[in-house]
Chains A and B, each alone.
Chain A
Amino acid sequence: MDTGLPCIHCGLCLHSCPTYRELGSEADSPRGRIYLMEAIEAGEQEFDAPARAHLEGCLSCKACETACPSGVDFSARMDKFRPRLAAAHRLAPGRRAALLVTRFPLLLKIAARTARLLDLLGLERLRRLLPGLGLMPGRKRKLRASGLTIGSPGKRSSGLRVALLQGCVGNAVAPGITRDAREVLERNGIAVVDVAGQGCCGALYAHSGDRERAAELASHNVRLLDAAGLDHVVTTVAGCGAFMREYDSLLAHDNLLSGAAQRLAGATRDVSELLVEAGFDPPMHPLTDIGPVAYHDACHLLHGCSVAEQPRIITRAAVGREPLELAESELCCGSAGSYNLEQPSMAARLGRRKAAALGASEASVLAVGNVGCILQIEMHARRAGIDAELLHPVELLARAYREGPSPAAASSRLSKIRRR
């Protein structure tokens, strides 16, 4: 694996790193981790428990890559190291559980249902404190999805045929996002094809150091999706999108599949990216009366795919004004794939930090282009008594298409103002 240009130890990445920001210890910064990995590889540093802890603390959020002026490919260095980390100690129970649910999405559906039931019984505050169940999404209050579909496709057809990536745990926890994405795409004349049998993109395995299993899963998806004759594969989950863009390097040595993997990597689009690229109709009745709306960058969109502008464009169109920015918006919320199961204490610190920034922004809706972040921030917001609604930008757009301004929305805004 090519690990790119050398690290010059300049330290310009420090302040971008969430774990360094929390701990202030440079061994928990990108520069420190690179230094440690180099020392271990050179045989100068023992691969002992403290060394592993500094490396395992990394969220793989890629913020350091955006910050680095020297083009250091931190992820490549870390990925190269992951198998050693994985081999050094058995997978932590949290990560094993996370990997298990990727194979049995039914488990998640059950958890999501249980959560909904508890919420209906008025036990949400309590449920939010439970591991696992606390992460399940809550009832949407201000913006309940109406049963209506958006309706007939727009006047024009874009001529594009796409599939939505659907094998992910994300789709199981928040099926509404996938549904809305599909309707919004169709509304804008983009044909969405069903490709049955898709599996997990493999990102969770790669991040646990199991590149072999990741490559197996990737091969399966590549074969399936490449055969479907698509223009694009569209993701609503930032982590999957970022990982699929790496399929070409993951499968570079597979003579049979490398071509298809390269095509698929090039054809992967985030839903907001495709909508902006292909052109979308701004809704007639933007959601102007739902209170202040903010947008938060999901790491794997911002640092992984350099997608920053497009989800803001979608959000702006849906709500009819410029979304607010959260303080420290570039810092990871601590969700990071299975990180919140693996490193619960750091994940919770970052989650609280993000919830506090959300509270300070006084936004009543936060748009985030990644379901993992939505769940994590929602859980910590609720624990902190912050009521803001967490939605994917495409959900906001779908609602704007479906509903105009309605008395219900107006009254919910009034109740919001009174609450303050």
Chain B
Amino acid sequence: MSNPPLDAGLVTRLRRMLGEEGLLTGEAALRVYECDGYTLEKARPSLVLLPATTQEMSRSVELLHKAGIAFVPRGAGTGVSGGCLPADIPVMIGTSRMQRIRRVDIDNRRVEVEAGVVNLDVTRLVESDGLHYAPDPSSQAACTIGGNVAENSGGPHTLKYGVTVNHLLGLELVLPDGEVLQLSREAGSGGFDLAGVVTGSEGTLGIITSATLALVKTPQAVATMLAVFPGVLEASRAVSAIIAAGLVPAALEMMDALVIEAVEAAYGFGFPADAGAVLIIELDGLAAALDEQCVQVTEACNEQGASEIRRADDPRERALLWKSRKRAFGAMGRLSPSYCTQDGVVPRSALPQIVERIGEIGRRYKLRIANIMHAGDGNIHPLLLYDENDPEEVARVLDAGRDILLACLELGGSVTGEHGIGIEKTELMPASFGPATLAAMADLREVFNPRALCNPHKILPSDRHCVEVTRPRPRGGG
């Protein structure tokens, strides 16, 4: 499905301002922008703009606003809920050329970077000073700070360190009419926390052009442990037991037998072949305190029937363990031609129940479902394996995914932990929020984005979006 071509005069004016490399046209250049990491639905933009400065961004947006043309922001396009989908949106605006580091302030532990800077590069910039940027999505080697703010992204270390919004000190935002706002939320700045409001808004309130981020001191010592369990139920109980013991691990991740099989085939870490589930538990802090905490973790795991507990002290072993976890989605291709990642949340205490429900749903729909979880925060990522050449199975996958998310809601959770609503889950919003809350959200959007030109049809259900629905492909996330 294509968007209609644009007025030639407007394109010429944009090209004059942005230069040949700042404006992409033509089938070959635009094709890849049909979708992001969510490939179920596709729509091709008529034009992609790549402004290099805030001024170029603001002028581009202003011109589009005057012409009444809708646009969608895009970072690295690693999103997995279709937030970048240009459905009925002729213009896409990328931040890939907004790459400057504006300020590094080691003394006050903060940096200001433009929206297109990649998450991991922020940490690389300051690691020699013993600092790092804490939110670490598994996609951190590619995803942008702008995209992270737009999705309020988290990662395995969210459990102790929080998500993007917990590390955000300020934003520069281009409103959908082109006006540039500086939104500070440093302590004592007063007023409404507009930067907080924009965080997690998935590009529906304006385009972020830069962010000021707080840096965290890199812990003196880290202990990474691997605990092996006969099954997911035992492992989920151990998660609760660890937290109940008063520990706050930096990360607490779970992988079940199917995931372990795939990861072992890909990276050969040496997980026991008969493991029903493993927990990766990372503790950090002062070296002196870690040994004691490791003992507590070991006790909690043993009580829940762990068959083996290992501590990865060698940095290489630790790196391989994390690689196995962070690249687990990619490894799934080795088990199944296609798979679909879901993203939901339940209260941590309900992990055993949701695991049982997922098992039931898998049996009911005759599907293999693998489980990866940021178990510490109850964020689950069931992976539904299927063969895309079997349309009937594809339909079952979609239904099973929806049932799992509804089960999350029933257990008091939510339909997304970190991947956002995007276009994928708009239909689940009425099940998640009451009408008054939805109306308040719509009103808020109206204030920032009154003409609905900036990323329409996302997050809140809308009556029309016009896209081509394709067969699902495998996709990653988490």
Find chain A residues with CB under 8 A from B355 CB.
none
Q: Which of B20-28, B189-197, B224-232 contacts A (4 or more CB under 8 A)?
A: B20-28
CA–CA, A36 to B31, complex, Å?
7
Residue of A11, A54, A68, A71 near B139 (CB, 8 A) is: A11
Interface pair B21/A23, CB less than 8 Å apart: yes
Interface pair A8/B473, CB less than 8 Å apart: yes
B327 interfacial contact with A, CB 8 Å: yes
User: Measured between C-beta atoms, what is the minimum distance from B360 to chain A in Å?
Assistant: 28
A50 interfacial contact with B, CB 8 Å: yes
B240 interfacial contact with A, CB 8 Å: no
CA–CA, A333 to B261, complex, Å?
38
Interface band, chain B: 35 or more
A5 interfacial contact with B, CB 8 Å: yes
Q: Which of B330-338, B400-408, B436-444 contacts A (4 or more CB under 8 A)?
A: B330-338
Residue-wise interface mask of A (15-56) relative to B, using a CB-CB cutoff of 8 A (1 in contact, 0 not): 110001001111101011001100100000110101101100
Find chain A residues with CB under 8 A from B420 CB.
none
Find chain A residues with CB under 8 A from B474 CB.
6, 8
Interface pair B97/A9, CB less than 8 Å apart: no
Q: Which residue of A lies closest to B388 (CB)?
A: A6
Interface pair A27/B32, CB less than 8 Å apart: yes
Interface pair A12/B78, CB less than 8 Å apart: yes
A13 interfacial contact with B, CB 8 Å: yes
Find chain B residues with CB under 8 A from A24 CB.
21, 50, 94, 96-97, 116
Find chain B residues with CB under 8 A from A6 CB.
333, 337-338, 473-474
Q: Which residue of A lies closest to B39 (CB)?
A: A9
Interface pair A39/B37, CB less than 8 Å apart: no
B249 interfacial contact with A, CB 8 Å: no
Find chain B residues with CB under 8 A from A114 CB.
none
A411 interfacial contact with B, CB 8 Å: no
Question: How many residues does chain A have at the interface if contact means C-beta atoms less than 8 Å apart?
Answer: 35
Interface pair B330/A10, CB less than 8 Å apart: yes
Q: Which residue of B lies closest to A67 (CB)?
A: B141
A62-99 interface with B by 8 A CB criterion = 67-71
CA–CA, A50 to B28, complex, Å?
6
Interface pair A15/B29, CB less than 8 Å apart: no
Residue of A13, A25, A31, A70 near B29 (CB, 8 A) is: A25
Interface pair A10/B475, CB less than 8 Å apart: yes
A14 interfacial contact with B, CB 8 Å: yes
Interface pair B476/A69, CB less than 8 Å apart: yes
Given contacts A25-B29, A35-B31, A71-B330, contact A9 B21 (CB under 8 A): no
Find chain B residues with CB under 8 A from A11 CB.
36-37, 76-78, 139, 142-143
B33 interfacial contact with A, CB 8 Å: yes
B266 interfacial contact with A, CB 8 Å: yes
B397 interfacial contact with A, CB 8 Å: no
Q: Which residues of A contact B (CB under 8 A)?
A: 5-6, 8-16, 20, 23-27, 29, 31-32, 35-36, 39, 45-46, 48, 50-51, 53-54, 67-71
Q: Which residues of B contact A (CB under 8 A)?
A: 21, 24, 26-33, 35-37, 39, 48, 50, 76-78, 94, 96-97, 116, 118, 120-121, 139, 141-143, 266, 326-327, 329-331, 333-334, 337-338, 473-477
* 18 sampled A-B residue pairs with Cβ under 8 A: A6-B333, A8-B37, A8-B475, A9-B39, A9-B475, A11-B78, A16-B142, A27-B29, A27-B31, A45-B28, A48-B28, A50-B29, A67-B142, A68-B330, A70-B330, A70-B476, A71-B266, A71-B330
